[in-house]
């Protein structure tokens, strides 16, 4: 927080508090600027997709929300409360572990390479967090995990270890595992990028159902423009660590205003 001219509130208040707010957030690796004074709001229940060339900072945005990356400047708020910082004597200071653990309970994430726990069955993967972190009884956690596995179409494979599951199946279990923690914000980081083309649909169907049936706030990074168009409320095009252009899918994809957006989209459409 080097820029003294920006006022970072201790808390966001009012009728329209966004579920996620990035305020002037920057991230650098040495000389490389990954995020450059980013401002981004995501409303509660909104589905926002981030697209852009590799190295544009898209994944970093999600990783920061999951507290997997530290930020260099700015503040991120979740559900009105600061995530990267906390209040101390009326001032914002860097969040400590306890604060981050409290805030992290509102956030769930699915990864490109699934990252299921290989020594646990699909069911155990979905019970681990509820039992170990939330302190829910095993019976209750099992019941809830089975419901979620049912929802993602994996109930029949609940006793299988990840090594016995296909990529699409593993990713569906990973979505159930994240949902078992009852997050308010779900992050999908290129969840179909490591999948064979014929199983991508299993995973996108699950995400589509989530969007239709739940009021979760979701942020998704993807290269699948068609899928993004279909389910997003808004698409943000990232370039050089900033939002170059954003808007509803039809506006951004069909009538992009910026040159860079046009170039990126035509390159993606050509590739497809």
Partner 1 sequence: MFDWQWDFTWSILPRLIEATGKTLLAAGGGYLVALVLGLILALAQRTPWKPLTLVVRELVEFIRSTPLLLQVFFIYYVGPQIGLRLSPWTAGLTAIGLHYAAYLSEVYRGGIESIGKGQWEAARAINMSTAATYRRIIIPQALPPSIAGMGNYLVGIFKDTPMLSVIGVGELMHTANTIGAENYRYLEPYTLVGLIFLAISLPAAWLVRRFEAATRRRLGLSK
Cβ(173)–Cβ(150) under 8 Å?
no
Residues, the chain: 272
Residue 122 C-beta: closest distance to partner 1, Å: 11
Member of 28, 37, 113, 208 binding partner 1 (CB under 8 A): 113
> Which is closer to partner 1, CB of 142 or CB of 242?
142
Binding characters for partner 1, 132-171, by CB under 8 A (x = yes): xx---------------------------x-x--------
> Which is closer to partner 1, CB of 103 or CB of 235?
103
Rounded CA-CA distance 100/118 in Å is: 26
User: Binding of partner 1 at residue 182 (CB under 8 A)?
Assistant: no
Member of 85, 99, 104, 242 binding partner 1 (CB under 8 A): 104
Rounded CA-CA distance 272/187 in Å is: 25
Reported for 208-211, long-range contacts at CB under 8 A and 24+ positions apart, including other chains, are 209/151, 210/175, 210/179, 210/186, 211/47
Cβ(49)–Cβ(235) under 8 Å?
yes
User: Binding of partner 1 at residue 199 (CB under 8 A)?
Assistant: no
> Which is closer to partner 1, CB of 129 or CB of 256?
129
Rounded CA-CA distance 187/222 in Å is: 11
> Which is closer to partner 1, CB of 21 or CB of 177?
177
Binding characters for partner 1, 29-68, by CB under 8 A (x = yes): -------------------------------------xxx
User: Binding of partner 1 at residue 188 (CB under 8 A)?
Assistant: no
> Which is closer to partner 1, CB of 37 or CB of 182?
182
User: Can you spell out the DSSP letters for 23-63?
Assistant: EEEEEEETTEEEEEEEEEEE-TT-EEEEE-STTSSHHHHHH
> With contacts defined by CB under 8 A, how many residues of the chain interact with partner 1?
29
Member of 26, 41, 44, 115 binding partner 1 (CB under 8 A): 115
Rounded CA-CA distance 50/234 in Å is: 9
């Amino acid at each position: 927080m080097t820029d003294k001219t920006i006022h970072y509130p201790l808390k966001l208040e009012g009728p329209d508090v966004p579920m996620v707010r990035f305020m002037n957030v920057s991230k650098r690796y040495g000389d490389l600027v990954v995020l450059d004074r980013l401002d981004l709001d995501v409303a509660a229940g909104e589905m926002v997709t981030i697209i852009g060339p590799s190295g544009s900072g898209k994944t970093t945005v999600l990783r920061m929300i999951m507290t997997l990356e530290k930020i260099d400047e700015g503040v991120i708020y979740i559900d009105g409360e600061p995530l990267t910082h906390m209040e101390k004597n009326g001032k914002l200071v860097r969040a400590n572990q306890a604060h981050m653990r409290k805030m992290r309970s509102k956030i769930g994430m699915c990864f490109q390479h699934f990252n299921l726990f290989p020594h646990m069955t699909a069911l155990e993967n979905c019970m681990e967090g509820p039992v170990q972190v939330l302190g829910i009884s095993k019976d209750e956690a099992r019941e809830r995990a089975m419901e979620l596995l049912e929802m993602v179409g994996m109930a029949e494979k609940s006793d299988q270890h990840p090594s016995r599951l296909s990529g699409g199946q593993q990713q569906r279990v990973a979505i159930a595992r994240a949902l078992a923690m009852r997050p308010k914000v779900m992050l999908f980081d290129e969840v179909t990028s490591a999948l064979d083309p014929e199983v991508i649909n299993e995973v996108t169907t699950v995400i589509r159902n989530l969007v239709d049936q739940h009021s979760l706030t979701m942020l998704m990074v993807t290269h699948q423009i068609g899928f993004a168009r279909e389910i997003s409320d808004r698409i943000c095009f990232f370039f050089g660590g900033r939002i170059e252009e954003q808007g509803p899918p039809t506006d951004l994809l069909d009538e992009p205003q910026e040159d860079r957006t046009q170039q990126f989209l035509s390159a993606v459409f050509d590739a497809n």
